[in-house]
Amino acid sequence: MQRRKFLKNSTLGTAGILSAPLIASQASTNPATYSLPQQTTPIVLATWDVANATSRAWEVLREGASSLDAVEQGVMVEEADESNQTVGKGGRPDRDGQVTLDACIMDQDGNCGSVVYLRNVVHAVSVARKVMEETPHVMLAGDGAEKFAYEHGFPKEELLTQQSRKEWEEWKKTSQYKPIINIENHDTIGMLAIDHQGNISGACTTSGMAYKVAGRIGDSPIIGAGLFVDNEVGGATATGVGEEVVRTVGSFLIVELMRQGKSPQQACEIAVKRIVDKNPGYREFQVGFIALNKKGETGGYCIQPGFNYRTYSEEGHHLTPAASYISN
């Protein structure tokens, strides 16, 4: 990271005296870095129709705070919302009745933090940010993550609500203990933002697949799978069946495709097609990606119809139904 900052600063600092051939040779190793202008008009986008979350993130950006603060505070809205049964408090439990949360966060300098199988703490994304900022590690799991959260002042809270318990008890009657894939076609919140300084950050948080096998972890807390940001290029985040996203390291793939010159939309489409091509069962599940590049261009694509994403920019709030591989 230090090296990266040094290279960036020295490139900017000596721009006036760099010879044209040197600039050209740098550009050829990383076209997206050097051909894209810096975006300074803030924008936030998130998976699914989470208007309260994108509004909160937009408010934070408008006040001049960082994209990191914006994505954290944005997704916290969904973590606290008990009616959202796929994220945070009120999330559907695993098949043994435990609500376990996975989340990660990544900033403009490539710093990242993550928690997996976190119990009894609502704001998994904020614990992930603490892991990033207060430890030399990237990922904490289970009891260790929970202990770390309490040590950093996070309150202990029951995450299983009456509603989620009732549904789980119903599910047990007929389920034969099979997890439900993509219940209600709604899932993880992944959020990306650019701030006034043109810096990109992202966050991703989920309670995971409903009635999953105890101990199961999806893509959402895995940097590169559920979320990836490279501030020179852009960011991407995923929703849907995490196992398929992990297999393709989907978010990293999208950022690398953007680095090679693909638009966010093209990059999301290629990543979805990669999953489809490798998976005869693709009609049975949903995966969707959203992406943002340094110019502030956005894109989204999914396997099944029904996935949409929210953007909030100076042009206002928009809900965009993502194009899908399987047509309506």
Told to check if 219 binds ligand GLY by CB under 6 A, we report yes
**Burial of 181 from C-beta contacts in 10 A (0-12 / 13-18 / 19+):** middle
Which range binds ligand GLY by CB under 6 A, 55-63, 169-177, 238-246, 274-282? Answer: 238-246
Hey, how many other C-beta atoms are within 10 angstroms of the C-beta on 325? 17
Q: 279: Cβ–Cβ under 8 A, 6 or more apart, which residues?
A: 244
209 part of the interface to ligand GLY, by CB under 6 A = yes
What is the C-alpha to C-alpha distance for residues 84 and 51, in angstroms, rounded to an integer? 13
Stretch that binds ligand GLY, among 160-168, 234-242, 292-300, 314-322 (CB under 6 A): 234-242
Q: Report in angstroms how near the CB of residue 33 gets to ligand GLY at its nearest.
A: 29
Q: Which is nearer to ligand GLY, 56 or 212 (CB)?
A: 212
Stretch that binds ligand GLY, among 12-20, 27-35, 206-214, 306-314 (CB under 6 A): 206-214
DSSP at 220 = T
Q: Which of 188, 206, 248, 311 is catalytic?
A: 188
In the shown chain, the binding pattern of residues 102 to 141 toward ligand GLY, with x for contact by CB under 6 A and - for none, equals: ----------------------------------------
Q: Where are the beta strands (DSSP E) in 178-307?
A: 189-194, 200-206, 227-230, 234-240, 287-293, 298-302
Q: How far is the CB of 72 from ligand GLY (least distance, A)?
A: 18
Q: Which is nearer to ligand GLY, 65 or 181 (CB)?
A: 181
Burial of 316 (0-12, 13-18, 19+ CB in 10 A): exposed
Give CA angle at 272 (33, 126), nearest 5°.
65
Q: Is 220 in the site for ligand GLY (CB under 6 A)?
A: yes
Amino acid type, 158: E
Other C-beta atoms closer than 10 Å to the C-beta of 57 total 33
**Helix intervals (H) in the chain:** 2-13, 20-29, 31-35, 51-62, 67-80, 124-134, 142-151, 162-174, 242-248, 250-259, 264-277
CB of 181 to ligand GLY, least distance (A): 9
CB of 92 or CB of 294, closer to ligand GLY: 92
Left, alpha or beta for 88 (phi > 0: left; psi -120 to 50: alpha)?
Answer: left
188 is catalytic: yes
* Distance (Å, whole) CA 205 – CA 123: 9
Any bridge partners for residue 321, and if so which? Answer: 308
Assess 241 for contact with ligand GLY (CB under 6 A).
Answer: yes
Q: Select from 3-11, 151-159, 235-243, 264-272 the region that touches ligand GLY (CB under 6 A).
A: 235-243
Please provide the distance, in angstroms rounded to a whole number, between the alpha carbons at the two ends of the chain: 45
Size of the site for ligand GLY (CB under 6 A): 12
Residue of minimal Cβ distance to ligand GLY: 218
The answer to whether 264 contacts ligand GLY (rule: CB under 6 A) is no
Nearer to ligand GLY by Cβ, of 152 and 247: the residue is 247
Q: List the catalytic residues.
A: 188
Site residues (CB under 6 A) for ligand GLY? 187-188, 206, 208-209, 218-220, 239-242
